[in-house]
Each structure stands twice: as C-alpha cells, then as structure tokens.
Amino acid sequence: MSVTEMKSSLVEEIKEWKRKRNAILLAHNYQLPEIQDIADVLGDSLALARAAGNTSADVIVFCGVHFMAETAAILNPEKTVLLPDLEAGCSLADSITVDQLREWKAEHPGAVVVAYVNTTAEVKAESDYCCTSSNAVEIVRSIPEDKEILFLPDMFLGSFVKNETGRENMHIWLGECHVHAGIASHQVEGVLTQHPEAELLVHPECGCSTSSMYLVSEGVLPAEKTHILSTGNMLKHSKNSDAEEFIVATEVGIIHQMQKQNPEKRFVPANPEAVCPFMKMITLEKVLAALKENKHIITVPADTAERAKLAIKRMVSIG
C-alpha cells in the first residue's frame, strides 16, 4: 500500500470513528497539512475556543496543544475532550507559573490581569480576562483607562497592544514563544528585498513585530503593505487582498491553508525554519488512536475551571 493509500485509509477510519462517537475535530492553523484537511473546524485560538463552546458533539478531539484542550475542557465539563499527544505543550504557556502570577499581582494590588490564551488553566483562573492575538487590543481598550493592567505572558504581543492602545499603565511579562521570537527583523527585511512587491503579514507574537511597527513609523517598511494580524486574520486578509504575493511572519504551518484558499497567489515564509515541534506532534495515527482508545482525556479541577471560565467567556464575547 502506498503512503497516499495509507493516509486515505486512515482518514476514512477516522471519519467512521467520528460518526460512532459523535465527535468533532478542532485543529489549529499550525497543524500538519493532513490534520488541517480533516478538521471540522480549522482556526486560530479564538475561533477554536468559540467552536468548543458551541459544539453539540459528545467528544472533542483537539488537534492543537495542551492549553487549547484545557480551554475546551473548561468550557465543556460534561464532554470528553481528547488531546492526541500529551507531549504537545507550549513554550509560551510555560513562561509563567501561577505562583509567579500571584507574586506579580501582590506587587500591583488592584491591577486588572489580562492573560493571553497561551497559558495554563491555573494562570487563567488567576486572571480577569483572557485574550487572543485577534482581540487583545479590543479587550485592553474595554478596560477603564485608570485601571493598571498586567499583561502576560507574551512580551511581543504585549508591546504591540501597548503601542496600539497607548496604555502607559500597562505592565508586560517578559515571556515569549520560542518559534515566533526566532523570526527576526533582519530576516523579514532580507525577504522583502527579494520580494519588493509583496505584502508583509506579521503575527504580533513575532520577535520582529515591535521592530516592524518602528520601521513602518520610520518609513522603512511601507505602511500600506505591512499588516500585524492574528493567524485567522492573516487568512482573511490574504483571501481578500488584491496582492499576488505575501511574506508570512509566523509559524509556517499556516501557509498550507493560505495556498489552498488562494492557489493563484504566492506565499513566502519570513523564516522557513519557524516550525513549532509541539504543533507537529499530532498525526493521523494519533487522532485515530484518540478516538478508538480515549487518548488522552483532558480534565481541569472544578474549582480551577470555574474561576478560569469567567476570563475565557470574556475573551470569546469580545471581538
């Protein structure tokens, strides 16, 4: 049997088991192409959280990383939430612990805590709001201006939000996603030199996002061709834009969907090595095993889930 035939057989078996278990497959835009292609819902963190909260399925198979499956479990305590590989973690979520957050809050009594969705359930439970890259600016703008804000854990997204909102009373945790932090401004400028007519799409988690904002203000990067966007908004923009070529500064997995939606356009990674090993851990074989053997059930303690749910619900209601 060829590799193509084997994949086709796995996909058919996955579909059969989905029907048997009334299951839904949620997949992030950074997943392997074959996982993206079988997803019932493919999207960024906000879209997937909304899908998890609205599904009538009995079983949610989360093709993403651990914090995403936790979020689904918090929103659906009565459903079975499966993560096909328990090792699928997140370096950004690991950059702050709940004890560190409690200490930070003690230093700033009365501050409003805004936690990026890339955090553990315990951290979410200590937060007032969750946010994603697509609605972080709107969430911060919704908070009264006299309120001090603690934004965590991504320093690049935090810097972007602070710049967009002009909030001087916003403190930023110095965490980062190791993949996005590795996309540097000199790489972006180098690719732009080779593709001068391309539009530049930058994820706000990227190490180049702050410098990109500065270079736009200095006229080095063309403002009309530079867009700092979430993965979901990158997909929308590339579909709606008249441009024929795009430089993509985020994890390279998204390019599969961009190319699929726009076969006549060209997408160039700012850094071809921007690959998240955690996002690539989930395979067709592991999805099938999850459905057949309940691998691996993700649960969150009831007290933690109850406190985290308010911050998550605020996130999904804005933007």
CA distance 85 to 205: 24
Residues 256, 263, 48, 317: what is their CA dihedral angle, to the nearest 10 degrees? 140
Please indicate if the annotation marks 130 as binding a ligand. no
Please indicate if the annotation marks 203 as binding a ligand. yes
Longest dimension (CA), the chain: 65
Q: Are 234 and 49 in contact (CB under 8 A)?
A: no
Beta strands in the chain (DSSP E): 23-28, 41-43, 59-63, 80-82, 112-116, 129-131, 149-152, 170-172, 199-202, 226-228, 245-249, 266-269
Please indicate if the annotation marks 177 as binding a ligand. yes
Nearest to 37 by CA among 20, 70, 14, 55: 14
Please indicate if the annotation marks 224 as binding a ligand. no
Q: Are 204 and 157 in contact (CB under 8 A)?
A: yes
DSSP string, 214-274: HHHHTTSS-GGGEEE--HHHHHHHHHH---SEEEEES-TTHHHHHHHH-TTSEEEES-TT-
Tokens of 55: 């599904």
Computed from CA positions of residues 65, 66, 69, 70, in that sequence, does the dihedral angle turn out positive or negative?
A: negative
pTM of the model as a whole: 0.92
Q: What's the pLDDT score for residue 214?
A: 64
Q: What's the pLDDT score for residue 1?
A: 72
The whole-number mean pLDDT for each consecutive block of 10 residues of the chain, a chain of 319 residues, reads 86 97 97 97 89 94 96 94 97 96 98 96 98 94 97 95 95 95 88 93 86 70 86 94 96 97 97 96 98 97 96 88
Please indicate if the annotation marks 206 as binding a ligand. no
Please indicate if the annotation marks 205 as binding a ligand. yes
Please indicate if the annotation marks 296 as binding a ligand. no
Give first-to-last CA distance, the chain, whole Å.
47
Computed from CA positions of residues 206, 212, 213, 214, in that sequence, does the dihedral angle turn out positive or negative?
A: positive
Please indicate if the annotation marks 231 as binding a ligand. yes
CA distance 168 to 200: 28
Tokens of 148: 């001090």
**Can 93-177 and 179-269 be said to share one CATH topology?**
yes
Please indicate if the annotation marks 28 as binding a ligand. yes
Tell me the CATH number for domain 3-89+279-299. Answer: 3.40.50.10800
What are the residue boundaries of the structural domains of the chain, listed by start? 3-89+279-299, 93-177, 179-269
Q: What's the pLDDT score for residue 239?
A: 96
β pairing state of 41-43 and 23-28: parallel
Q: What's the pLDDT score for residue 318?
A: 85
Please indicate if the annotation marks 140 as binding a ligand. no
Q: What's the pLDDT score for residue 3?
A: 81
Nearest to 63 by CA among 93, 40, 79, 91: 40
Q: What's the pLDDT score for residue 208?
A: 80
Q: What's the pLDDT score for residue 137?
A: 95
CATH class of this structure's domain 179-269: alpha beta
Please indicate if the annotation marks 103 as binding a ligand. no
CA distance 191 to 210: 18
> For residue 136, which phi and psi values (nearest 5 degrees)?
-60, -40
93-177: what fold? Answer: Rossmann fold (3.40.50)
Instruction: Please state the separation of Cα 258 from the chain's center in Å.
Output: 16
Q: Are 130 and 115 in contact (CB under 8 A)?
A: yes
Beta strands in 106-174 (DSSP E): 112-116, 129-131, 149-152, 170-172
Q: What's the pLDDT score for residue 114?
A: 98
